[in-house]
Amino acid sequence: MKRSLAILSLLTLAACGADGEPVRPTASSSVTMSSSGVSVGTAVGLRRGPFSLALGMGS
């Protein structure tokens, strides 16, 4: 299983930008303060033409 996952990861990484110029990622972060505490959020995304992919994480 680990070997299959490693091979799949390498193939995915090799396919990024293989058919053209590399895609520059975007990143954003936010800090929100409220009476219940402080929360932090971050997001990383890619945009190519009409397609957009983002991954975010926050507390």
Q: What's the pLDDT tens digit per position in 18-57?
A: 666 777 888 999 999 998 899 999 999 988 888 888 888 8
32 falls within a domain: yes
Question: Is residue 40 included in any domain, yes or no?
Answer: yes
Between residues 30 and 14, the one the model is more confident about: 30
Q: CA distances (Å), 55 to each of 1, 28, 45, in order?
A: 25, 11, 6
Residue 3 belongs to some domain of the structure: no
Tally of domains in the chain: 1
Q: What residues make up the domain containing 34? A: 23-47
Whether 54 is covered by a domain: the verdict is no
- Max mean pLDDT range (2-6, 13-17, 34-38): 34-38
Instruction: Give pTM, 2 decimals.
Output: 0.50
